[in-house]
Amino acid sequence: MPFIIVKQDITRMDVDAVVNAANTGLQMGGGVCGAIFRAAGERELQAACGRLSPIKTGEAVITPGFSLPAKYIIHAAGPVYSRWNKAQCRALLRSAYTASLKLAAENGCKSIAFPLISSGIYGYPKDEALETARGAIEDYLLDHDMEIYLAVFDKSSFAVGQALLGGVESYISQHYADRPRFSGRRLLAVEREALQEAAAADLNALAAMPAQAPASREQGLDALMENLDEPFSDALLRLIDKKGKTDVEVYKRANIDRKLFSKIRTGRGYTPKKPTILALAIALELTLDETGALLERAGYALSHASRFDVIVEYFIVSGRYNIFELNEVLFSYDLPLLGS
C-alpha cells in the first residue's frame, strides 16, 4: 500500500485511524490535538484518555474515534525538540510513529493518517520532523501493507530540506523551458512575406514528391503485425530481472499497491499512466536513457516544458531513487505525486 501526502483536515479523513499529536498526560491541547478533541467530542474523548494516561514520550495508545469519520484515534506522544540532544529526539519521534503503526495493525486498520508529530508547539524543525516521519513510514512499508497518509493542513506546516530544494531549483532554472505565450502582436510586412514564402516552398516540395501506390489493407495489417513492439508488461519484467529485484521490492519502492502492480504485470494489453511508469523507473533505479526507453514503450516522453518532468529527471540524474523524498518535493511544488 502507498504512502501519500495530502493537504487535508485530518479530522475529516475517512480512514481507519487518525493519529493525535498528544501530550504525555493525554489532555486536550492546541493545534492538531485540540482540533481532534473538538471534532471527536471533548467530553467522551477526554474520559477515554483519562483511563489510559499517562504515557511516556515515544509511546502511543488507542481510543475509539467517537464522532470522527475514523474508527480509532491513536494518541502518540512526540518529544519536545532539543537541539542539544538531536539523536534522542529523533529516536523518540521515530518511536511515536512506529508505535502508532503497530497499534493500528494490531487493531486491524488498513489505513491511517498522521499529522507531522512534534512540529507545532513542541518546536521540532519541520524538515527534520518530515525526514524522521518518512524514514519510519518507509521502513514499515517494506515489511507491511497499509495505506498511510501524512495530512498537511497548509503549506506552513510542511517543509522540505533547503539543501534538496536548492538543488532542485538550480536544476529547474537550467533545464525548465517554460514556453512564452504568443503575444498576439501584428506581424511586420517582412515577417508576413517570409512566412508566406516558406509555406509556398513546403507546398512545392510536397507536390514534387513521387506518388506511392497505396498498400492493400491486408498488406498494411501484415506489416503492422510484424513490427509490433514488445508489450509494456514484458519490458517491465525484463527490467526487473535485469536489475536483480523482486516484484514486491519494486511495487513497494514504486509506492503503488499490489493490485495495480499485478494489473500492470499480467495485463499484456494494459499500459499504465505516465506517473506510474516514472514511479516504476525510480523503483528500478533506471538511468535517464533507460527511463526514456520505458516511457517510449508506452508512448510517453520526458519534456523540459514540464516542471513535473524536470523534477523527476533531476532525481534520476542525481541518483536519488527515494520516491518518498521525491514526492515531498513534488508536493511542495503543488504537483501530482508518483505512485498509486
pLDDT in tens, 90-102: 999 999 999 999 9
Domain boundary among 102, 126, 159: 159
Q: Peptide bond before 54: cis, by omega within 30 degrees of 0?
A: yes
- Is residue 17 in a domain? yes
Would the pLDDT of 338 be above 70? Answer: yes
Amino acid at 150: L
What CATH number should be reported for the domain holding residue 257? Answer: 1.10.260
H or E element at residue 20: strand 17-22
- pLDDT band per the 50, 70, 90 thresholds, residue 233: confident
Is 137 in the same domain as 256? no
Domain boundary among 121, 137, 159: 159
Tell me the whole-structure pTM to 2 decimals: 0.77
Is 248 in the same domain as 143? no
Share of the chain above pLDDT 90, in %: 61
Is 152 in the same domain as 252? no
What length does the chain have? 340
Is 128 in the same domain as 11? yes
Residue scoring higher pLDDT (203 or 72):
72
- Is residue 177 in a domain? no
The DSSP line for 177-189 is --PPPP--PPPPH
Beta-carbon count within 10 A of 102 CB = 14
pLDDT at 166: 78
- Is residue 61 in a domain? yes
Would the pLDDT of 324 be above 80? Answer: yes
What CATH number should be reported for the domain holding residue 117? Answer: 3.40.220.10
- Is residue 259 in a domain? yes
Among 16-20, 203-207, 249-253, which range has the highest average pLDDT?
16-20
Domain boundary among 110, 130, 159: 159
Is 150 in the same domain as 238? no
Average pLDDT, the chain: 86
Helix/strand/coil for 80: coil
- Is residue 211 in a domain? no
Distance of alpha carbon 300 from alpha carbon 316, whole angstroms: 17
Is 149 in the same domain as 236? no
Angle, helices 42-50 vs 31-40, to 10°: value is 110
Is 242 in the same domain as 133? no
- Is residue 189 in a domain? no
Grid coordinates belonging to 82:
532539543
Quote the number of domains for the chain: 2
Would the pLDDT of 319 be above 70? Answer: yes
Domain span at 82: 3-159
- Is residue 277 in a domain? yes
